[in-house]
């Protein structure tokens, strides 16, 4: 599991797009993602057998998330 922190929303979108184009499954966590979808994305990321090992996020994720990552 890997978290990719980005400085801005636009850079987060660009990184997500790049990784997706290179067949790397991602989920997003930033301010423009609705709260319900953020919770769903975190659950996908947390699952051991999940197919989304990469979380692309802004500094919003640095505020209070407790995750195990590499």
CA contacts within 13 A on the Cβ side of 29: 26
Interval 44-53 mean pLDDT = 78
47, part of any domain: yes
27, part of any domain: yes
What is the pLDDT confidence band of residue 11, given thresholds at 50, 70 and 90? very high
30, part of any domain: yes
Mean pLDDT of the chain: 84
31, part of any domain: yes
Question: Residue 14 pLDDT more than 90?
Answer: yes
70, part of any domain: no
- Percent of the chain with pLDDT strictly greater than 70: 86
CATH code, domain with 45: 3.40.50.300
| Domains contained in the chain, number | 1
d(CA 70, CA 35): 25
44, part of any domain: yes
d(CA 32, CA 9): 8
Q: Which domain holds residue 46?
A: 3-58
């Amino acid at each position: 599991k890997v978290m990719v922190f980005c400085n801005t929303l636009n850079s987060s979108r660009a990184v997500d797009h790049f990784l997706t184009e290179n067949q790397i499954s991602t989920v997003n966590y930033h301010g423009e993602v609705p709260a319900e979808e953020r919770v769903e994305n975190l659950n996908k990321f947390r699952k051991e057998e999940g197919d989304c090992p990469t979380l692309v996020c802004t500094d919003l994720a640095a505020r209070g998330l407790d995750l195990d990552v590499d």
